Structure 1
Amino acid sequence: METIYIRFSDLRRAAEQVPTFVKEALWWEDAYNLRTGIEEDMGCGGEDTEELLLSFSERFSVDISNFDFTGLISSEPGSDGNPLYTFLLLFYVAVYLIAWVVKLLVGIFYWPFNPKSATKLIKEPIGNPFASELQQPKSPQEILTIGDLVASAAAGHFVKRERVRFVIVRPDHS
């Protein structure tokens, strides 16, 4: 655990300014706390998270050059350059369109016998058989929170909130 000696006013300034910065950068209007996840709760992900961290680093003079964010930032689906992703996406679109057309035709032909069931069949949504492969980004091993950014702004370099201890010191009277 890292110990950082800091004036209370500097810690308070970080605790006030960082959440405001994040809220404005992500257009976030809902409630938050120090445990609010940047990606999980606020919906930021992949390259957007990287851009947020670079802006954060500039704005609060936080050194992030020696920190490996690979465990904290999820990758966007298909961003790893895997050609299988493109194939699955095209295959899914084709299967979805065929299923939609077949369902519509069955509903139309079934209409004279039972209009209520046919209407229900036509209105029923088609499921996504590839949801886990196409829509779920790779999850980070750890969650990046607003509290981590507050702690990092106070420390001057990136730290996880749980791995740092702040000790309040008296301001200089000189």
Structure 2
Amino acid sequence: MTTVIADRLAQLGMTLPPPPSPRGVYVGVVIHDGIAYVSGQVSRVGDEIIAGPVDRTTPPELIRHAARTCVLRALAALAAALPSTTTVERILYLRGFVNAVPDFMNHSQVMDEASALLHEIFGESGRHARSALGVAGLPGGGLLEIELTVALARESVHAQEGAGNPSEAGPQHTDAHQRTP
């Protein structure tokens, strides 16, 4: 199953936040040979951070909100880097960094919330490989940061490569949301 991100979110009654801008010297998304690599997205709503660290007393609703926020921010960055008709073939990999106290051991459960949302949005194509890492801190003190690796549908990638782009010959490279001085 392939999915156009905006169409599927509309079916679920969800909307994407504004695409995030990188806060450093990097790009938000790189596309190479039909694979999109989405830079880390921290649990941030506008200028407000959903803060960590996570411990045993952190409310599950806060963890769920942080995970959903990160996924939607990553999808917003991806959608902004693609033509609107580009379809996602599969979510390949999700990496999560959980800002947690040293004795917290449930990093995987925190990441389950992000995985569940990707499965809800993309169905079986949203099932992915994953890593969940505990860290001592994240940018801005965020509770969670995720990175995505996404396979784009071949017909979408070929359409982009031959659609009058300056680099019609060879694979397409997209550096979305490049920071300007």
Give TM-score, length-normalised by structure 1.
0.26
Higher share of residues assigned helix: 1
Higher share of residues assigned strand: 2
Give TM-score, length-normalised by structure 2.
0.25
Which structure has the larger Rg over C-alpha atoms? 1
User: Does 1 or 2 have the higher relative contact order (CA < 8 Å, sep 6+)?
Assistant: 1
